Amino acid sequence: MISTAVANLNDAVMGRTAPSVHPPSLSLFPAPYRVVDRRVETADVVTISLEPEEGRPPAFQPGQFNMVTAFGIGESAISISSAPGAVGPIEHTVRAVGPVTHALTTRPVGALVGVRGPFGSDWQMSDLAPHVLIVAGGIGLAPLRGVVRTLLSRPMAGDDRLLVLVGARSPDQLLFRAEFDQWRRAGAYVAPTVDVGAPGWDGRVDVVTSLLPTTPFDPARTVALVCGPEVMIRFTARALMDGGVPASRIRVSLERNMQCALGWCGHCQLGPLLLCRDGPVVDYSGVVAELLRERER
Amino acid sequence: MRSVQLADVVARHPLLAGLPSDAVASVAGCARMVAVAPGRLLLAEGDPADTFYLLRRGHVAIEAHDPGHGTMVIETVGPSQVVGWSWMIPPYRWRFDARAIDAVGAVAIDGLCLRTKAEADPALGYALLQRVTTILLDRLQAARIRLLDLYGRGQPQ
């Protein structure tokens, strides 16, 4: 088993073969990318725009992630927050919660970082439904921003709807808040809510699931895309199912300790799944729902 | 005609949907339609809890004033939701302010009137209590989720 893995690793490093999953992403070595822009989103979240030193960024799909290296410190799995096919640099929205992400959020324009990827499954943009319901909490909106931008760049058919529900701790923690009006003008229904209000905030103060009863979607014609803290995902999935959306049409993005990102090291295992390879986007089917209720031992 | 429309509106509100028509008529007998301008208080902390509201349109902020920190919005409620629970439980005084965020249309229900009817008619009282308890449970669970401070945490990366 180990020898097979080592052989695969050697082959991969030498570029001789590709594993059965995600052959385009078979990369153990980060490519140098330059920070060409950085935009402070909230007190601890920064969007960095990256361009490769050579060539163009590899193609990706919304929901996939890259392993981004802060040289000398470490590597972290970061969702891609830009839309595929967009002109310009690739964007990653990073929340500073540890040494690597802190370093990435403070890298100045012109600095080099490492990027390998893209990795993992995506939101399956080719298999949506007339009503696309996005439910995002906190930094969870980052991997869904590409979905929003992609859908809004396409002509919407008669009854197509894009509904974006966003939860955050407080108004100043709402991610991409400056883009909400732009999304609304393009046809999306956008409803933010916060846990704790603040002076000047006249929007909703409540949990994100409280928005569901008044959100204009038809459960029978909806695909729900959910990303946020795992507890929020559980509560949201339950509320969606109570509202008539079947588990098979609820897709969630899960986070674990991604290390190799190639499905070899096992750090990101969730039951039978290796989330770097089989995720991060998975259907909220029986096995996932059960696994999310499991307590760590 | 007016009372028929009011009964229809009351019957369609999620709090009362499915109630028998005589129960709806009882509730409607304690109800009136109101419009509240943005910024106006529906309830004021410490005042007698004599009226509660079934929201039809608009949003209401449940607020508390914290000296030195100003007014904090604890929760917002919107169409199809209910503003005010303290009319049910002694000492029948509001614990928070409730302020219209935008133009609010609601059914205002006289709490004393409804309590009196509910005590005289246990079937009505039980049906109301079941509905109110369901909503209170939802609100309690939502408050518990917010206590988790979900978005304040993150995986070290």
Model pLDDT, residue A31: 92
User: ipTM of this model?
Assistant: 0.77
Model pLDDT, residue A296: 61
Name the token pair of B138. Answer: 């939802």
Nearest chain B residue to A169, by CA: B151
Model pLDDT, residue A174: 94
Model pLDDT, residue A157: 82
For residues A173 and A45, give the distance between their C-alpha atoms in angstroms, rounded to a whole number.
9
User: Ranked by mean pLDDT, which of A282-286, B6-10, B35-39 comes out on top?
Assistant: B35-39
Interface residue B145 vs chain A (CB under 8 A): yes
Chain A residues 132-161 within an 8 A CB cutoff of chain B: 137-139
Share the mean pLDDT of chain B. 89
Model pLDDT, residue A214: 87
Buried b (16+ CB within 10 A) or exposed e, A231-261: ebbbbbbebbbebebebebbbbbbbbbbbbb
Residue pointed to by tokens 């995600």: A22
Supply the pTM of this predicted model: 0.84
Contact, A133 vs A189, CB < 8 A? no
Please write the tens of the pLDDT for every residue from B73-82: 889 999 989 9
Model pLDDT, residue A25: 56
Interface residue B78 vs chain A (CB under 8 A): yes
Helix B122-147 crosses helix A230-242 at what angle (to 10 degrees)? 150
With a cut of 50, say whether residue B72 has pLDDT above it: yes
Local mean pLDDT, 10-residue blocks, chain A (297 residues): 42 34 63 96 95 90 94 94 88 94 95 93 91 95 96 88 95 94 95 89 90 92 94 91 93 87 84 85 82 69
C-alpha triplet A55, A58, A64: angle, nearest 5°: 150
Model pLDDT, residue A14: 35
Contact, A142 vs A90, CB < 8 A? no
Per-residue pLDDT band for B4 (boundaries 50, 70, 90) equals low
* CB-closest option in B75, B78, B151 to A229: B151
Per-residue pLDDT band for B46 (boundaries 50, 70, 90) equals very high
Model pLDDT, residue B17: 85
